[in-house]
């Protein structure tokens, strides 16, 4: 997903694409876990029931879920019986950027009921083909969501007026539904610094961009309703609206899959 912005005007343009951060279908090993395995042992941190509860739906239908690649599955979401871990790559971070990320994560957690856990900073760089399992870096579990302050020099897809990219890969066990894992967000630090410096509400706009990308990470696509934060050409919306919240509540009620 791309979040585009044109400095100096209040229009944000965002284009959606299917992420390719890692091989889309990952078949986990069965017990016992073997050294050198390409996937974590199944059931890491899996609780017997969801860790949080999504708020009641707003009743809005102004949301679109990302298309499922598996026939018969209409919703692909993170496992609500496990925390969604995330890390931040702080290189090129904006002043106050940590606070904006914290606020954006808190907003998406409230709207979805998913429980997020901050694992601190990382040196991992964003990558189109991100590895979903990095035991040397993150231990024997799925890699956390990576939020990286980046630049067009490092992430060419941020060139021009693209201010952010976000999405998740997915994993599956035999006979089980697809589950999102190892999401990633790349933020164009130079563009966002320009927004912060040039607009009275620049911090709120940057926070909204991070929230938008987190919406993509959790499984929302773009909508045609300009009153929603997930609209592709955002004209000043700085918070999740009724449709965004309805979609996130649905995504927070996905299946628990301890087999992964």
Three-state secondary-structure class, residue 231: strand
In a domain, 113, yes or no: yes
In a domain, 46, yes or no: no
β-sheet with 84-89: strand ranges across: 116-121, 84-89, 145-150, 179-188, 162-171, 2-5, 12-15, 233-234
In a domain, 36, yes or no: no
Please give the Cα distance from 234 to 208 (Å, whole number): 10
pTM of the model: 0.89
In a domain, 229, yes or no: yes
Kindly report, residue by residue over 35-82, the tens digit of the pLDDT. 566 789 999 999 999 999 999 999 999 999 998 888 889 999 999 999
Q: DSSP code of 207?
A: H
Please give the Cα distance from 186 to 163 (Å, whole number): 8
- Residue 124, by phi and psi: left (phi above 0), alpha (psi -120 to 50) or beta? beta
In a domain, 225, yes or no: yes
Q: DSSP code of 223?
A: B
Q: DSSP code of 158?
A: G
Reported confidence tier of residue 28, pLDDT bands at 50, 70, 90: very low
In a domain, 252, yes or no: no
Task: Please give the average per-residue pLDDT across 108-126, as a whole number.
Answer: 98
Q: Among 11-25, 59-73, 126-140, 163-177, where is mean pLDDT lowest?
A: 11-25
Reported confidence tier of residue 15, pLDDT bands at 50, 70, 90: very low
In a domain, 145, yes or no: yes
Kindly report, residue by residue over 227-251, the tens digit of the pLDDT. 999 987 777 899 999 999 999 999 9
Please give the Cα distance from 158 to 3 (Å, whole number): 9
Q: What is the CATH number of the domain that holds 180?
A: 3.40.390.10
| Residue 20: per-residue pLDDT | 38
**Total structural domains in the chain?**
1
| Residue 35: per-residue pLDDT | 59
In a domain, 208, yes or no: yes
Domain that holds residue 131: 2-31+58-245
């Amino acid at each position: 997903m791309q979040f585009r912005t044109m400095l100096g005007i209040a229009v944000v343009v965002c284009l959606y694409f299917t992420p390719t951060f890692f091989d889309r279908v990952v078949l986990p090993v069965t017990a016992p876990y073997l050294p050198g395995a390409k996937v974590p042992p199944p059931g890491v941190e899996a609780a017997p029931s969801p860790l949080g509860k999504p708020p009641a739906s707003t009743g809005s239908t102004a949301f679109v879920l990302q298309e499922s690649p598996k026939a018969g599955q209409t919703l692909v979401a993170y496992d609500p019986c496990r925390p969604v871990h995330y890390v931040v790559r702080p290189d090129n971070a904006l002043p106050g950027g940590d606070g904006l990320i914290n606020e954006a994560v808190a907003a998406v957690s409230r709207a979805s009921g998913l429980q997020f856990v901050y694992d601190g900073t990382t040196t991992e760089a964003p990558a189109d083909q991100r590895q979903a399992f990095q035991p040397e870096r993150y231990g024997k579990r799925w890699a956390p969501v990576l939020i990286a302050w980046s630049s067009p020099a490092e992430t060419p897809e941020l060139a021009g007026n693209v201010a952010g990219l976000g999405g998740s890969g997915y994993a599956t066990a035999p006979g089980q539904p697809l589950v999102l894992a190892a999401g990633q967000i790349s933020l164009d630090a130079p563009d966002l610094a320009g927004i912060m410096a040039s607009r009275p509400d620049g911090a709120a706009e940057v926070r909204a961009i991070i929230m938008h990308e987190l919406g993509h990470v959790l499984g929302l696509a773009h909508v045609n309703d300009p009153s929603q934060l997930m609209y592709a050409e955002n004209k000043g919306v700085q918070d999740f609206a009724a449709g965004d919240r309805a979609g996130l509540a649905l995504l927070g009620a996905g299946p628990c899959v301890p087999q992964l």
